[in-house]
Amino acid sequence: MGDSYKDLIAWRKAMELVTEIYRATRLFPRDELYGLTNQLRRAAVSVPSNIAEGQARFSRKEFHHFLSHARGSLVEIETQLTIAQNLGYLSPQSTRPLLDQAAELGKVLNGLIASTKSAA
């Protein structure tokens, strides 16, 4: 494991996704503030938070556990973005780059998860 979670590509990509999710959800209807807006933002914040917390743990098994949580939050984001598009809160042109970003992060996370599993 590296010296810091900040060195992890997955954490950096997750931080970028959080920023983009916050930007996109600013345009959601006000009555969604405690609904889909809040859920998307919480799921987005959860991804880099779990990566960081997992990196700070002392065992690869614990790191693997937190990375699995991050992956779960990522699929929540993908689902919620699709819901937002279906409701007309996001255009397909706005949703596609976010889904692409999430998919790329998913690939990086899957690789990191695999590396912690094989080394455990």
Residue 108's CATH number: 1.20.1440.60
For 89, phi then psi, to 5°, come to -80, -30
Domain tally, the chain: 1
Whole-model pTM: value is 0.92
Q: Where are the beta strands (DSSP E) in the chain?
A: none
Residue 12, domain extent:
5-119
Over residues 1-47, the pLDDT tens digits come to 456 888 899 999 999 999 999 999 999 999 998 899 999 999 999 99
Among candidates 9, 13, 84, 7, which has minimal Cα distance to 44? 13
Distance, CA of 77 to CA of 89 (rounded, Å): 15
